[in-house]
Amino acid sequence: MAATKVTIWNEFIHEVEHDAVKKVYPDGIHQAIAKGIAGLGEFEIKTATLREKNHGLSEEILSNTDVLIWWGHMAHDQVADATVDMVQKHVLNGMGLIVLHSGHFSKIFKRLMGTHASLKWREADEKERLWNLEPAHPIMAGIPDYFELEQEEMYGERFDIPTPDKLLMVSWFQGGEVFRSACTWQRGHGRVFYFRPGHETFPTYYNEHVLRIIANASRWARRRVTIDSSKAPNSRELEPVPNPTKEHL
């Protein structure tokens, strides 16, 4: 199988502006993920960030992307609507999309879900335990029954999303809440995966299980086809019909 072409998009503001985050991710979350998944499969990895021209994305780049990974938090509203339109089109035509953590409130995730994608949250440095519900699913390959992150931000239900096609993990938090942490959907010809962990002040994107899930999901969500289904063509009959259309548009 050809290498999966992964483009990792990161807002890349926290790591520049906040020392506590810079300490954890000196080169940015996008670089930590790129390094972390590089050894876990056949990947051709590129990165893109908000402040680059056109946010580092273009028709050409997305046409050459099998799966786009998205991390954003404090600047969702600075992502141009034209970029959101372009990413949505590529997903509907077959590109995969992996949305991480606070990307739940990104324009592209809300667009593709059609809901508010809201949730409860709390920053209390508490433990998260993620339970593997679907060990036979390719995204869960090599993942134990559960694993723990000693410190994470809490996300709690209700997560305002459409019911996932597959729910792969549920998180439990020390403070008592639970959360649907790993969810898949199909939109058009594209596969979408949401994965919860990854608050910027914690070393979550160095965790072996988190990285394996992102690597597995990159393979699972990779582009299978490229089909533009945006048109609704008038169709000629294959067999004779009683009242054939005289003029086809």
Q: Write down the least CB distance from residue 83 to Zn ion, Å.
A: 22
Task: Report the site for Zn ion in 146-165 (rule: CB under 5 A).
Answer: 153
Backbone CA torsion sign across 24, 26, 28, 31 = negative
Residue whose beta carbon is closest to Zn ion? 199
Judged by beta carbon, residue 5 or residue 110, the one nearer Zn ion is 110
State in angstroms the smallest separation of the CB of 74 from Zn ion: 10
Minimum distance from residue 160 beta carbon to Zn ion (Å): 17
Q: Which stretch binds Zn ion (CB under 5 A): 7-15, 81-89, 95-103, 229-237?
A: 95-103
Cα separation, 187 vs 93, in Å, equals 9
Minimum CB separation of residue 122 from Zn ion in Å reads: 10
C-alpha separations of 48 from 52, 93, 127 in Å: 7, 21, 31
CA distance 208 to 130: 13
For Zn ion, which stretch binds (CB under 5 A), given 97-105, 144-152, 169-177, 211-219? 97-105
Beta-bridged to residue 186, according to DSSP, are: 191
DSSP reduced 3-state for 31:
helix
Closer residue to Zn ion (CB): 116 or 122: 122
Eight-state DSSP code of residue 133: S
In 10 A of CB 80, how many CB atoms? 13
Query: Which 186-215 positions form the footprint of Zn ion (CB under 5 A)?
Result: 199
Are residues 229 and 189 in contact, defined by beta-carbon separation less than 8 angstroms? yes
Regarding 104 and contact with Zn ion (CB under 5 A), the answer is no
- Report in angstroms how near the CB of residue 37 gets to Zn ion at its nearest: 20
Give the ranges where the chain is alpha helix by DSSP (H). Answer: 14-17, 19-24, 29-38, 59-63, 81-93, 107-113, 208-221
Between 119 and 168, name the residue whose CB sits nearer to Zn ion.
119
Total of chain residues touching Zn ion, rule CB under 5 A: 3
Binding mask 48-87 for Zn ion (x = CB under 5 A): ----------------------------------------
Query: Is 171 among the residues that bind Zn ion (CB under 5 A)?
Result: no
Q: Quick check: 102 binds Zn ion (CB under 5 A)?
A: yes
Which two three-digit tokens encode residue 62? 């997305």
Q: Tell me the longest C-alpha to C-alpha distance in the chain.
A: 73
Compute the least distance from the CB of residue 233 to Zn ion, in Å: 44
Q: How many CB atoms are located within 10 Å of the residue 238 CB?
A: 6
Under the rule (CB under 5 A), what is the footprint of Zn ion? 102, 153, 199
